[in-house]
């Protein structure tokens, strides 16, 4: 893999981040807007904020940003109105340019028209709701008076027939004059209206308490909820009619009505006028209904017109706002005729940026072109990897731990293979792998459609990692074929088993009862192991040793990558006093163990490797006896132990002293250097600082403690990290056993009952257990463990991850953020 790229369009290179440069642009003020717009379309320049000391209100284009904010507010208002009316903005395919001034006038007119429509519609609707309530009050109150009038006449007839005028009480609602003293008659007033049903009981109690019982209240329930004129919501209400005596009581009742939100309406006792009022209200309601419908139709047409252009307007406003935000990051030169910009860009984008600058100057009819120049700086550039839809998800796995330092080796290259492989080692079942593959293919085949839709959080995360899951499923099928497991069932795919039983009872005994009758099974695990008593001890031994081999290999890969990092940054100290001793220490112990494992497999030796490794430390001079795998093993172990012990001080002591010497030599040379320091010397100084110096101040104690911590961490980590890779064995075993339990204790058990109903239940339980536990929970578990092995065990050997991402000014990013 190449370590750098040059030219206009270099090939994609994930091993090292793109070479970056700090550029300065001097843009004439008349072409600045169009130039920044073209750079946003290009999306390959990360602007630096040259006005960080100024508040947002002190910047040059604060007024324009405020103006764009106002346009965005109007568009949000239109969107709310459309969603309330049930309209959705149409996706615009046209990309015609719109003048911001024209758009501002257009949006202002539309907003004024829509606000006026809403206000008129609200007034009309309120009047309509009030008249609807008034009509109900007229009808119910007329019923009250009619019933009271009828009962009064009936009582009068009864009193006349009995001829007992003195003992009779005069009804309140009697219209006819009764022979009593006119001076003793009391004139009663009345109020009608509607009160919310939930407040009616409290309303009645308060009325009686406030007037000390000197009121007569009559209520009638409305069958259907009515629209409240004030709130506009459907409310269940009661019509009330309250009689009172005196102005004091009237004032109290009015205040109580206001407190309870009771709407009052006028009513007359005259039957003829009641009928006339009802007819007038009905006619008015009909007119209002027609007017409201016409207004809603006109408003709907207006919103439809807005919806057709909404996305285009929204895009223009967002782009303009982002352009002015970027222009605010540029500094105004002393002549106030040019804007000065600084930013990071990939070296390969130089020609494209220059073309954008020329096009901006030409299209804006500027007499002066923009100036492009490269600056030399001691700042660390941002990290930029050009990824595609396949590699993006793998790169994000690495970036979640930490963004790579500029130009350091990127573990994402290896993660594309090692991550799905380690997952598959823990998830080895080609039946489950096929299920994962089918689910992933659904996302991949429909990716165009799904990428434009809003998905749920979990679905969106799964969709984003579809190519990671694709690789995981393919590797799971591969390791499943090696383990020879299809939903825990072994199949003779590559030929017949190499072994046969000596007698019928050997299936219940150990492998000692088997004899080899055919050539070795060509690929993967021989199916004869399944179901024997020695299956678990054999698989445990195999997978545990395989995990150690994989772990030691990957850790060695990490140490080798640290060598290429040191070589790339020309840091010889890290080569001699970090890479070499680390490689010696790890391989003197666990590299040696890996060699012993392979030798034991090849020779069929019965040596106890636990005993060999333990007594290599406890009694290195003792004879190995039957645990000896090759001649001279004792001497080799003594040499390896000595190298491991030497490697520790080799890592710890020389590096801090050499860094101190290097720092002193550099500063001593600078004190006698020429006064004129060129940009190249600054660049060299920057490189030296990054290679081991700690800035201008060099604290030897701090460097020594840091190296001590690093050494202890590596020595202890060599043991703990190797042990950590045993999770590959543990999770593989757990997955295999769970799969076997579901197959034997659910599916085969249900099959054994010879009952169709029980068999169907067994199949359903087996499917749900397989999907829920093995395809969801186990997938997530294996994914997280593979993630940990990469972040901790692999990447800590070489990866610093203290960089920062390249975030160019791009309209594509603006659109994605809005979505």
- Averaged over successive runs of 10 residues, the pLDDT of the chain (819 residues) comes to 40 80 94 94 94 90 93 94 85 69 92 93 90 86 76 74 51 45 63 89 88 85 86 86 86 90 83 83 91 91 91 92 94 85 96 95 90 93 94 95 94 96 96 96 93 85 94 97 92 86 59 74 88 84 95 97 95 95 97 96 90 91 89 94 96 94 79 42 41 61 94 95 96 94 91 90 94 94 97 95 94 66
With tokens 């001699």, the residue in question is: 576
* pLDDT recorded at residue 696: 54
* pLDDT recorded at residue 559: 97
- Nearest Cα to 546, choosing from 343, 300, 727? 727
CA distance 382 to 268: 83
CA distance 465 to 420: 12
Cα three-residue angle 386-391-396, rounded to 5 degrees? 85
With tokens 């109150």, the residue in question is: 141
Q: Do β-strands 331-332 and 338-346 pair in parallel, antiparallel, or remain unpaired?
A: antiparallel
**How far is residue 589 from each of residues 126, 637, 645, measured CA to CA in Å?**
87, 9, 11
Domain with CATH 3.30.70.340 in the chain: 14-50+330-382
CA distance 144 to 139: 9
CB atoms within 10 A of CB 490: 19
CB-based burial of residue 498 (10 Å sphere; 0-12 exposed, 13-18 middle, 19+ buried)? middle
| Tokens representing residue 150 in the block | 């009828």
* pLDDT recorded at residue 91: 73
Q: Report long-range pairs for 750-755 (Cβ below 8 Å, ≥24 apart).
A: none
Q: What is the DSSP letter of 787?
A: H
The continuous run of DSSP H or E covering 548 comes out as helix 535-568
CA distance 378 to 488: 59
* pLDDT recorded at residue 512: 57
CB atoms within 10 A of CB 701: 8
* pLDDT recorded at residue 547: 97
Spatial neighbors of 713 by CB under 8 A, at least 6 apart, are none
| Tokens representing residue 658 in the block | 């050499």
CA distance 259 to 39: 63
* pLDDT recorded at residue 178: 43
**How far is residue 388 from each of residues 6, 99, 392, 471, 557, measured CA to CA in Å?**
19, 35, 6, 15, 25
* pLDDT recorded at residue 534: 80
Spatial neighbors of 741 by CB under 8 A, at least 6 apart, are none
CA distance 317 to 10: 35
Q: Say whether 191 sits in a helix, a strand or coil.
A: strand
Prediction pTM value: 0.80
* pLDDT recorded at residue 686: 40
Residues 471, 420 contacting (CB under 8 angstroms)? yes
Residues 629, 607 contacting (CB under 8 angstroms)? yes
Q: What is the DSSP letter of 404?
A: P
CA atoms lying within 13 Å on the CB side of residue 593:
27
* pLDDT recorded at residue 179: 44
**CATH architecture for segment(s) 14-50+330-382:** 2-Layer Sandwich (3.30)
**How far is residue 452 from each of residues 91, 449, 563, 812, 816, measured CA to CA in Å?**
12, 6, 44, 14, 11
């Amino acid at each position: 893999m190449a370590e750098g790229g040059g030219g206009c369009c270099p090939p994609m290179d994930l091993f090292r981040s793109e070479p970056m440069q700090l550029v300065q642009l001097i843009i004439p003020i008349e072409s600045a807007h169009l130039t920044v717009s073209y750079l946003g379309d290009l999306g390959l320049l990360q602007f630096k904020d040259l006005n960080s000391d100024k508040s947002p209100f002190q910047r040059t284009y604060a007024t324009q940003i405020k103006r764009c904010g106002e346009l965005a507010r109007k568009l949000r208002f239109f969107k709310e109105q459309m969603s309330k009316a049930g309209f959705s903005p149409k996706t615009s395919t046209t990309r015609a340019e719109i003048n911001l001034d024209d758009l501002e006038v257009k949006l202002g007119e539309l907003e004024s028209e829509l606000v006026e429509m809403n206000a008129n519609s609200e007034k009309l609707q309120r009047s309509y709701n009030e008249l609807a309530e008034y009509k109900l009050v007229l009808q119910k109150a007329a019923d009250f008076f009619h019933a009271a009038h009828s009962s009064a006449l009936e009582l009068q007839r009864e009193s006349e027939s009995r001829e007992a005028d003195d003992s009779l009480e005069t009804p309140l609602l009697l219209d006819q004059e009764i022979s009593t003293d006119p001076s003793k008659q009391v004139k009663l007033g009345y109020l009608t209206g509607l009160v919310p049903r939930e407040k009616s009981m409290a309303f009645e109690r308060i009325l009686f308490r406030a007037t000390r019982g000197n009121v007569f209240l009559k209520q009638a329930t409305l069958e259907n909820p009515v629209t409240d004129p004030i709130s506009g919501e459907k409310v269940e209400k009661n019509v009330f009619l309250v009689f009172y005596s005196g102005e004091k009581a009237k004032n109290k009742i009015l205040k109580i009505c206001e407190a309870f939100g009771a709407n009052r309406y006028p009513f007359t006792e005259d039957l003829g006028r009641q009928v006339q009022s009802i007819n007038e209200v009905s006619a008015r309601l009909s007119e209002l209904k027609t007017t409201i419908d016409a207004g809603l139709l006109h408003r709907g047409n207006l919103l439809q017109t807005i919806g057709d252009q909404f996305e285009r307007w929204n895009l223009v406003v967002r782009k303009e706002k982002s352009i002015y935000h970027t222009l605010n990051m540029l500094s105004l030169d002393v002549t106030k005729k040019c804007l000065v910009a600084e930013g990071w860009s990939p070296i390969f984008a130089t020609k494209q940026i220059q073309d954008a600058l020329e096009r901006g100057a030409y299209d804006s009819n500027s007499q002066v072109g923009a100036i492009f120049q490269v600056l030399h700086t001691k700042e660390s550039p941002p990290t930029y990897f050009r990824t595609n839809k396949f590699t993006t998800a793998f790169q994000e796995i690495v970036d979640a731990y930490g963004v790579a330092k500029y130009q350091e080796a990127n573990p994402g290259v290896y993660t594309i293979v090692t991550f799905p492989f380690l997952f598959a080692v823990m998830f080895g079942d080609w039946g489950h792998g096929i299920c994962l593959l089918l689910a992933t293919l659904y996302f991949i085949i429909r990716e165009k459609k799904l990428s434009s839709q809003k998905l749920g959080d979990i679905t969106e995360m799964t969709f984003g990692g579809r190519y990671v899951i694709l690789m995981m499923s393919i590797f799971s099928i591969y390791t499943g074929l090696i383990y020879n497991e299809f939903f825990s069932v072994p199949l003779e795919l590559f030929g017949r088993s190499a072994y046969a039983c000596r007698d019928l009872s050997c299936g219940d005994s150990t492998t000692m009862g088997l004899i080899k009758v055919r050539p070795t099974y060509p690929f993967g695990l021989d199916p004869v192991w399944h179901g024997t008593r020695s299956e678990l001890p054999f698989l445990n031994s195999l997978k545990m040793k395989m995990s150690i081999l994989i772990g030691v290999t990957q850790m060695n890969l990490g140490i080798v990558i640290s060598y290429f990092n040191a070589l790339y940054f020309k840091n010889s100290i890290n080569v001699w006093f970090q890479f070499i001793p680390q490689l010696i220490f790890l391989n003197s112990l666990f590299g040696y163990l890996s060699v012993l494992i392979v030798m034991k497999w090849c020779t069929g030796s019965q040596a106890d490797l636990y005993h060999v490794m333990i007594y290599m430390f406890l009694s290195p001079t003792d004879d190995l006896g039957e645990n000896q795998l090759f001649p001279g093993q004792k001497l080799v172990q003594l040499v390896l132990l000595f190298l491991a012990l030497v490697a520790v001080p080799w890592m710890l002591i020389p590096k801090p002293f050499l860094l101190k010497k290097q720092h002193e030599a550099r500063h001593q040379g600078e004190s006698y250097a020429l006064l004129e320091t060129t940009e190249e010397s600054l660049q060299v100084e920057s490189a030296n600082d990054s290679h081991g110096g700690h800035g201008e101040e060099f604290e030897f104690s701090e460097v020594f403690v840091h190296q001590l911590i690093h050494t202890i961490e590596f020595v202890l980590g060599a043991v703990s990290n190797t042990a950590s890779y045993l999770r590959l064995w543990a999770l593989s075993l757990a997955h295999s056993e769970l799969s076997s339990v579901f197959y034997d204790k659910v599916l085969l058990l249900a099959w054994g009952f010879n009952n169709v109903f029980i068999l169907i239940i067994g199949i359903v339980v087996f499917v749900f257990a397989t999907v829920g536990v093995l395809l969801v929970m186990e997938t997530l578990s294996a994914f997280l463990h593979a993630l940990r092995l990469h972040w901790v065990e692999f990447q800590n050997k070489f990866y610093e991850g203290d960089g920062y991402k390249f975030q160019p000014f791009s309209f594509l990013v603006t659109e994605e953020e809005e979505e």
